[in-house]
């Protein structure tokens, strides 16, 4: 009976979602002509305004609205204000929104190869991560959601992640024992915490501040710009600069929407995406640097900067993860990432 009720609920939810499909983003004029079509495009994301993702989205909006002479309108919904981690993908599939730019490690359920940003100490900086996702293997992974009617368009970096927690300073792998960390999700991040003797739980970004405040988890890993803009340092006491994993995004769109644009319209939207990519890539590093300064100025967290020897200790403990995930992620994908990181 319970199973039947659950199935019925899932069925009703799906019918509801399909019924809610928005056609606003399907062009209303000039589909077959060369005129720019009238469109309303929605871009939803989960982070704050002062982040590379939002700045990229704004650059994209400004370009598209200007170049289309106002015929194309782009609405941006930051801070999980329209959809959050739990529902933005389904709503992209349903074409209720036309762009999302999620942290790729949130997609490992669709394809374990999206675990690349979670591979410990794989990339030292944005340039290396960009080189992987712009390369052949990276593009292959980004196009792996085709069966859902979703197209991966362009990688936008945020940066390296660092640990915060409310219990004590962390400077060696042993210091994580018994603590519980929030992750963005996915098997590799879970294995990292298991290897370090800690627990982990995946929690949507929009619920993270409250989860930290209420002690649901002791800590989390994130970029400086996410920590600063969401004020996680208000509810954490320690921060260790680690750069052990990354937050990297890709802009995804709905294929049906994408294919519904005529050549003139698509040219503007594609150029808008390129403008957004340029800004997101150019701003990521400086926004993280500025965010670190702000965190230091606020003085809420005690900051631990690891020595190269201390980083090496973490690296050693986490090294077996590469062997553990070689088959699932693919030796070819890991090798391509290594080459990009050289």
Task: State yes or no: residue 217 binds ligand LMR (CB under 6 A).
Answer: no
Tell me whether strands 180-183 and 219-222 are parallel, antiparallel or unpaired: parallel
Residue with the closest Cβ to ligand LMR? Answer: 103
Residue 288 near ligand LMR by CB under 6 A: no
Strand 162-165 to strand 238-241: parallel, antiparallel, or no bridges (unpaired)?
Answer: antiparallel
The pair phi, psi for residue 114, each rounded to 5°, is -70, 0
Q: How far is the CB of 20 from ligand LMR (least distance, A)?
A: 24
Nearer residue to ligand LMR within complex by CB, 68 or 158: 158
Considering only CA atoms, which of 75, 285, 254, 221 is closest in space to residue 153? 254
Neighbours of 259 (CB within 10 A): 10
Strand 150-160 to 246-254 pairing? antiparallel
Alpha helices in the chain (DSSP H): 2-19, 52-67, 88-93, 126-134, 136-142, 187-195, 208-213, 224-229, 255-259, 263-298, 308-318, 320-324, 326-329, 331-340
Q: Which residues lie across from 138 on neighbouring strands? A: none
Supply the minimum distance, in Å, between the C-beta of residue 33 and ligand LMR.
38
The answer to whether residue 115 forms part of the interface with ligand LMR (CB under 6 A) is no
Q: How many CB atoms lie within 10 A of CB 215?
A: 11
For ligand LMR, the closer CB: 37 or 158: 158
**Distance in Å, CB of 53 to ligand LMR, minimum:** 6
CB 160 within 8 A of CB 243: yes
- The CB-of-230 to ligand LMR minimum distance in angstroms stands at 9
- Residue position matching structure tokens 């995930």: 325
Pattern 163-202, binding to ligand LMR, x per CB under 6 A?
A: ---------------------x------------------
User: Is residue 57 a contact point for ligand LMR (CB under 6 A)?
Assistant: no
With respect to ligand LMR, which residue has the nearer C-beta, 36 or 249? 249
46 binds ligand LMR (CB under 6 A): yes
User: Any contact of residue 88 with ligand LMR (CB under 6 A)?
Assistant: no
**Minimal distance, residue 254 CB to ligand LMR, in Å:** 19
Widest CA span in the chain: 65
Which of 80, 226, 265, 277 binds ligand LMR (CB under 6 A)? It is 226
Contact call for residue 99 and ligand LMR (CB under 6 A): no
Does the footprint of ligand LMR cover residue 236 (CB under 6 A)? no
Which is nearer to ligand LMR, 78 or 272 (by Cβ)?
A: 78
Instruction: Give the nearest distance from C-beta 50 to ligand LMR in angstroms.
Output: 12
Question: What does the block give as tokens for 154?
Answer: 């362009």
- Pair of tokens at residue 263: 């050549």
Under rule CB under 6 A, residue 247 binds ligand LMR: yes
Judged by CB under 6 A, which of 96, 158, 191, 277 binds ligand LMR? Answer: 158
The structure tokens listed for 210 are 């409250």
User: Which stretches of the chain bind ligand LMR, using CB under 6 A?
Assistant: 46-47, 103, 158, 184, 205, 222, 226, 247
């Amino acid at each position: 009976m319970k199973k039947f009720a659950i199935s019925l609920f899932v069925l009703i939810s799906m019918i509801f979602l399909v019924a809610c499909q928005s056609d606003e983003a399907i062009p209303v004029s000039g589909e077959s002509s060369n005129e720019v079509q009238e469109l309303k495009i929605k871009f939803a994301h989960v982070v704050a305004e002062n982040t590379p993702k939002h700045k990229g989205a704004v650059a994209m909006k400004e370009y598209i609205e200007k170049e289309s002479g106002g015929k194309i309108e782009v609405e941006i919904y930051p801070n999980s204000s329209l959809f959050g981690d739990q529902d933005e993908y389904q709503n992209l599939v349903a074409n209720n929104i036309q762009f999302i730019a999620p942290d790729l490690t949130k997609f490992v359920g669709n394809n374990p190869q999206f675990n690349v940003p979670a591979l410990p100490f794989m990339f030292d900086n944005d340039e290396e991560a960009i080189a992987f996702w712009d390369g052949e293997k990276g593009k292959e992974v980004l196009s792996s959601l085709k069966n859902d009617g979703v197209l991966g368009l362009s990688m936008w970096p945020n940066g390296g992640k660092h640990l915060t927690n409310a219990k004590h300073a962390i400077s060696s792998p042993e210091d994580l024992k018994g603590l519980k960390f929030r992750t963005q999700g996915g098997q590799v991040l879970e294995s990292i915490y298991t290897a370090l003797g800690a627990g982990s739980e995946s929690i949507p970004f929009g619920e993270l501040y409250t989860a930290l405040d209420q002690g649901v988890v002791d800590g989390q890993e994130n970029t400086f710009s996410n920590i600063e803009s969401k004020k996680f340092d208000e509810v954490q006491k320690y921060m260790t600069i680690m750069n052990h994993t990354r937050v990297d995004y890709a802009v995804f769109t709905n294929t049906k929407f994408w294919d519904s644009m005529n050549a003139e319209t698509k040219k503007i939207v594609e150029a808008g995406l390129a403008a957004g990519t340029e800004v997101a890539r150019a701003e990521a590093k400086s926004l993280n640097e500025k965010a670190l300064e702000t965190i230091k100025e606020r003085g809420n967290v005690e900051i631990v900067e690891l020595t190269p020897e201390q980083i090496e200790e973490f690296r050693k403990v986490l090294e077996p993860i590469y062997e553990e995930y070689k088959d699932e992620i693919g030796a070819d994908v890991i090798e391509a990432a290594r080459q990009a990181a050289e």
